[in-house]
Amino acid sequence: MKKARLIPFLVIMLSFVLCSSRPFADAREIKIGVLAKRGTEICLKKWVPTAEYLSNRIPGYEFTIVPLSFDQIYSWVRNEKGDFIITNPSFYVELEYWYGINRIATLKNLRLGQPFTEFGGVIFCRSDRTDIRHLKDLKGKTFMAVKETSFGGWRMAWREMKEKGIDPYKDFAKLEFGGTHDAVVYAVRDGKVDAGTVRTDTLERMASEGKIRLGDFYVIHEHGGGKVHLPFLHSTRPYPEWPFAKLRHTPDKLAEEVCIALLEMPPDCEAAIAAKCAGWTIPLNYQSVHDCLKYLRVGPYREFGKITIGDVIRKYWLELVIAGFLFLGVSVSSIGILRLNRNIQKAHEKLQAEVEVRKKTEKRLRESKDKFELLVKSLPSPVYKGQVDWTVDFLDEKVEKLTGYPLLDFITRRRRWCDVVHPEDIELVKKNFIQALKTNKSYFRTYRIKTSEGEIRWVEDRGQIICDNSGNVLHIIGVFNDITEQKLAAEEKKALEAQLYQSEKLASVGQLSAGIAHEINTPTQFAGDNILFLRESFEDIVRVIDTYMKLLEANKEKETNTEITKKLDEIIEEVDLEYLMEEIPRAIEQSLEGVERIATIVRSMKKFAHPGTEEMVPSNINEAIRNTITVCRNEWKYVSEVVTDLDESLPPVPCKIAEINQVILNMIVNA
């Protein structure tokens, strides 16, 4: 739609350029930036004729219009992308302060057939909103302005509200910005917001264009406390109209020519008609705009009223330097005198304190020595203080009773403590001591010593390594406790516990003895029966063999002895030789089996009842299970069946095998 509207306008402009009598081929382009408050299309339609007017009035230059949005205007001026700018008074004041632009003319805006060089802002709502008649009624309402940087479309109204104690950013239910003046009017008309603000003449212009009806709106008339004679609907005090300004780099000669051309612009020329103005006038005073921005603390006055340390230093630096030197001189002198007095006083107090400290220290040392001696004497065990090389700095006299060696031997270092340690324990003790040196921690060790009489005693050595801040060993302190009696008592207790355990084990064997006897008795009985059978069978066989030998001798002598042959037949028939030949091997086999069963039970019993060792030794767990099952067979054979699933590849397991046997026995019997 926008492209369609621009086509007729571009055709007119092209025709105007082609019909112009002045050639532009060699003209220098001069860019005029214009704040496009109602959009690019309307901006070009309004201001391009002004550029053409200036191009015709000033030879050698071709003026063009560059529409700028509210967000583009700052960078366009800062980067010097053009030569002149037409903008609202608020932007002008900011750009003048930051980038040095300078006004050369002020617009004579044509409204209601009359030229005006001042304008204001309008705060309005729908006429049917009877709840909004004053600025104070706007609290808690929704509100729309054009842009935060728009002067007529926001900042003028903001100033009036702020003077009435209203903070739009906190007191409004919602604050929005529509982007253009027309968008704000439509938003209020359509009920999208409760109220809005635009520049003066906007409502009249849109009404004359047939876009709205003035009767649909109500305007709040509060003019900053003063009377303002503007023929438009307005709510604020007046401010000067838009200025025409040159950028800092624009040549003054060119600016003078442009200023003259603008001031001479006829109100009935095409440029004035398109801009809806009566031409331009001399630049007005924009102090009222400065006052507005200063009151709102925006733009160049954002930090206005804030006094910083830097501001004070920049304004009063000379006075501050002089005062600083004076203060420094007085301070140095005062400090010197005070320091001298303080040093004298401190020296005196220090001497007195040192005397008192020395007296107290000596007293504490005496008391500490007495307490230490009393403590050492009250302890049942000898206390020592030594070095890492096993020499002794201090040792309690009770060491003589412990070792049998004179105390003087250790004090004079003729004998070191390692000399009394048992030869079999010395390496372990040294290793333990070296480990304690690495960590600088307390240590605890138990070992044997050999007295002067050759007696072996057990000691419990508890010590602490004392180091300086650098970690170097200063000395070692500790105590020797004689634990010989405790050690012997512990060993005796251990032996008694082993005996008790073996007794309990034998008691278990005793409980099983009846069953084991029965298990042994059965194979013994049938083995004995078989032996009796073999003895009788052997006697019968001897009779047969004896008769047979007699018959054999008779045959050798070639004698026929019918009586011997008959007797042999009778004996063979009597003894049932065929039966004996069949049963004897079976009886022998059964006897061997019975003997083997007895041997198995005996071996299992022997291994089960073995006392074992105190140490964990690798043992065959499978064999232990089988032996225990054999020993207690009489306990389960009448009531259940024991099935084993043993891993034959299981390696010997470190354990106390006697305790394992007992556990397996308890499991089977209890089951």
Render the burial of 635-669: b for 16+ CB within 10 Å, e for the rest. Answer: beeeeeeeeeeeeeeeeeeeeebbebbbebbeebe
Taking residues 262-266, report their average pLDDT.
95
Element counts in the chain: helices (H) and strands (E): 21, 21
Q: Using 50, 70 and 90 to split pLDDT, how confident is the model at 274?
A: very high
Domain annotation covers residue 156: yes
Instruction: Please check whether residues 538 and 474 belong to one and the same domain.
Output: no
Q: Is residue 333 part of a domain?
A: no
Q: What is the mean pLDDT of residues 567-586?
A: 70
Q: Is 384 helix (H, G, I), strand (E, B) or coil?
A: strand
**Domain shared by 613 and 568, yes or no:** yes
CATH of the domain at 422: 3.30.450.20
CATH of the domain at 107: 3.40.190.10
For residues 545 and 535, give the distance between their C-alpha atoms in angstroms, rounded to a whole number: 15
Q: Which residues, 6+ apart, have CB-to-CB distance to 166 below 8 Å?
A: 135, 136, 138, 139
pLDDT tens digits for range 631-669: 777 777 777 888 888 888 889 888 877 778 778 877 777
- 614, pLDDT greater than 60: yes
Residues 595 and 657 in one domain: yes
Report the C-alpha gap between 56 and 261 in whole angstroms: 10
Residues sharing a CB contact under 8 Å with residue 40, sequence separation 6 or more, in sequence order: 67
Residue 306: inside a domain, yes or no? no
| CB contact at 8 A, 523 and 599 | no
pLDDT at 167: 95
Contacts of 470-477 with C-beta under 8 Å, sequence gap 24+, read: 471/440, 473/387, 473/388, 473/437, 473/440, 475/385, 475/386, 475/387, 475/393, 476/385, 476/386, 476/387, 476/388, 477/383, 477/384, 477/385, 477/386
Checking if the pLDDT of 137 tops 70, the result is yes
The pair of three-digit structure tokens given for residue 177, joined into one six-digit string: 């910005």
Q: Please check whether residues 504 and 604 belong to one and the same domain.
A: yes
Residue 524 lies in domain: 488-670
- In this structure, the answer to whether residues 456 and 492 fall within a common structural domain is no
**What tens digit of pLDDT does each residue of 356-392 get?**
887 777 777 676 655 655 555 656 678 888 887 778 8
Q: Is 45 in the same domain as 177?
A: no
**Residues 243, 257: contact at Cβ < 8 Å?**
no
Q: Note the pLDDT of residue 11.
A: 37
Least confident piece of the model among 290-299, 398-407, 412-421, 577-586: 577-586
pLDDT at 374: 59
This prediction has a pTM of 0.43
398 falls within a domain: yes
Q: Answer yes or no: is 556 within a domain.
A: yes
- C-alpha–C-alpha distance, residues 13 and 23, integer Å: 15
Q: What is the pLDDT of residues 88-132, one digit of tens each?
A: 998 999 999 999 999 999 999 988 788 999 989 999 999 999 999
Distance between CA atoms of 318 and 320, rounded to whole angstroms? 5
CA distance 259 to 621: 118
Whether residues 551 and 473 fall in one domain: no
Residue 70 backbone class (left: φ over 0; alpha: ψ -120 to 50; beta: rest): alpha
Separation of first and last alpha carbons in the chain? 101
